[in-house]
Amino acid sequence: MTSSKKVVLLGHFGVGKTSLFRRFIDNAFSEDYKVTLGVQIKKKVVELPNGKELSMIIWDTEGHTDIEDTRKSYLLGSHAFIYVFDSTREETYKNINEDLAYLTNIHSKVLIKVIGNKIDLIKEKTAKDQLKALNINVDCFTSAKTNKNVHEFFLDLANELTS
């Protein structure tokens, strides 16, 4: 039987959660911004290097400036949180460490990944330097627009969740 894992996309509004979600699931992208209200859920079955399959159930939540405004019910039963920020907007990442602490506090066993999206808009080096200065660890820089690192990221995550 295919096992399944619940993964939740979190972060400020407009950082590209829905775009990453669409890029991963349908390999599509749009410049249009359509605000997500509440949560939309889709699943995608991925093949793991060991030949087995994993069904990833992805929850694309509505963005909040304050993580505590996210409905707690959306976080229930999760296996991973993906905290997405916009690499071009400091306000979407400057409080990351506090937000991550909040999440681990209520869900200590859930794997957390941090993603800097929209990396097509600025130099990766510039973004990295800025984050380093704020003591923030980033797992991956992506671009939903150019499809940079999106599939790679989700596949690595699938792998990590099953090992």
Min CB(9)–ligand GTP separation in Å: 8
- Strands, E, within the chain: which ranges? 3-10, 39-47, 53-61, 80-86, 111-117, 140-141
Q: How many residues does the chain have?
A: 163
Of 31, 40, 137, 44, give the one whose Cα is nearest residue 85. Answer: 137
For residues 16 and 23, give the distance between their C-alpha atoms in angstroms, rounded to a whole number: 10
Write the binding mask 74 to 113 for ligand GTP: x where contact by CB under 6 A, - elsewhere.
Answer: ----------------------------------------
Binding to another protein by residue 161, rule CB under 8 A? no
Question: Is 96 within 8 Å of 114 (Cβ atoms)?
Answer: yes
The nearest distance, CB 156 to Mg ion, in angstroms, is 22
**Should residue 93 be labelled a site residue for another protein when binding is judged by CB under 8 A?**
no
Residue 10 vs 54, nearer CB to ligand GTP: 10
- Return residues touching another protein (CB under 8 A): 4, 6, 13-14, 33-35, 37-43, 57, 62-63, 71, 73-74, 76-77, 88-89, 121
